[in-house]
DNA sequence: ATATTTATTGAAAATGATTTTCAATAACAA
DNA sequence: TTGTTATTGAAAATCATTTTCAATAAATAT
């Protein structure tokens, strides 16, 4: 019941726990694929009829700020969000069903320092994402 | 004068070469950082006063289709475009001035096949991008 | 060169996503 | 409880992008 943990996080950071936020949190936390604000709105209203789209946007903003969710960038668009994995993880997305899997990518360190040396850049951050077909869809 | 090559590409693919397209191509091709449509519009109008923003959008669309430019995804937004490097390359972006550098990342193959084995996914595509400070800005 | 065909243009309007405003409501600390 | 104040949803505003359309101009055929 990790949704409760998320609500605790909100509370501990001075935000109130409301029915609208419960609906958003429970929707996003249990999804295994990235959801757009409108998808969260549609799914969330099944839990709390009066939920407004504006509140979805506002809640996603706070969840992102608390690092509980992250924005997912895809060729078709960058408006979707998914729950954050534990630690430093990267995403692997199914091009057919959207199913997301996390993986660790810390084998990148040697590649990154070699790039830094060659280009003269100081590298602070990296994004790595894989696309393909999940076991069910292939 | 690679802008001429881009215009040839347009022509060879059945598109006409116009003053508006010249302005867009010359602007984007020589930029070393990613530009948004509005930035291309502002810079392009210095070359061709009558350039319209709509034409910028339409031209960028064609250049992307011909793989002459690519969309650049960043934490602050995903509307910017930059010239494509040669072959399969990845981007390294300066967080201060936006300067872009390309690098090859084909050392990723072993990481990727290990992920594929562990997750059961068939991996078709990958995105890797680094962020940091360029030699001038650090 | 010139005429002809048809892709391309810019402006305005339409759309879609996101943000702001605001008065009413509800969380929660006292 | 009660009072304070963050939060709410609706409507309006904003911003990015796309569509519509009549006028224009590029490229081909003459």
- Residue A66 CA to residue A100 CA, distance in Å, equals 21
Number of inter-chain CB pairs under 8 A, A vs B: 104
| C-alpha dist (Å) from residue A43 to A52, A59, A67, B60, B74 | 12, 14, 22, 36, 28
Distance, CA of B94 to chain centre: 15
Ranges in chain A annotated CATH 3.30.1490.190: 90-132
The class of domain A2-83 in CATH terms is mainly alpha
Can you tell me which residue has the tokens 């040396």? A117
Q: What is the DSSP string of chain A?
A: -HHHHHHHHHHHTT----HHHHHHHHHHHT-SB-B-HHHHHHHHTTT-TT--HHHHHHHHHHHHHTTSEEEEEETTEEEEEEE--SSS-EEEEETTT-BEEEE--GGGHHHHHHHHHHH--EEEEEEEEEEEE-TTT-
Ranges in chain A annotated CATH 1.10.10.10: 2-83
Q: What is the pLDDT, as a whole number, of residue B1?
A: 61
Say if domain A90-132 classifies as CATH 1.20.1250.20: no
A4 C-beta less than 7 Å away from strand C: no
The closest nt to A18, taking CA to C1', is: C27
> Is B111 in Cβ contact with A105 (below 8 Å)?
yes
> Is B124 in Cβ contact with A127 (below 8 Å)?
no
A18 C-beta less than 7 Å away from strand C: yes
Low-confidence ranges of chain B (pLDDT < 50): none
Say if domain B89-132 classifies as CATH 3.90.1150.10: no
Global pTM value: 0.93
> Digits of tens for pLDDT over chain A (138 positions)?
699 999 999 999 999 999 999 999 999 999 999 999 999 999 999 999 999 999 999 999 999 999 999 999 999 899 999 999 887 789 999 999 999 999 987 788 999 999 999 999 999 999 999 999 999 999
């Amino acid at each position: 019941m990790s949704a409760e943990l998320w609500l605790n996080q909100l509370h501990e950071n001075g935000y109130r726990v409301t029915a609208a936020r419960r609906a958003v949190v429970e929707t996003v936390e249990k999804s295994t694929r990235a959801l757009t604000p409108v998808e969260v709105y549609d799914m969330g209203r099944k839990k709390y009829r009066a939920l407004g789209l504006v509140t979805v946007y506002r809640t996603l903003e706070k969840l992102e700020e608390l690092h509980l969710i992250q924005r997912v960038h895809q060729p078709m668009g960058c408006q979707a969000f998914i729950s954050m994995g534990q630690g430093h993880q990267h995403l692997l997305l199914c091009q057919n069903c959207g199913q997301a899997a996390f993986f660790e990518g810390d084998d990148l360190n040697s590649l990154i320092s070699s790039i830094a040396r060659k280009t003269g850049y100081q590298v602070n951050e990296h994004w790595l994402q894989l696309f393909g077909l999940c076991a069910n869809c292939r």
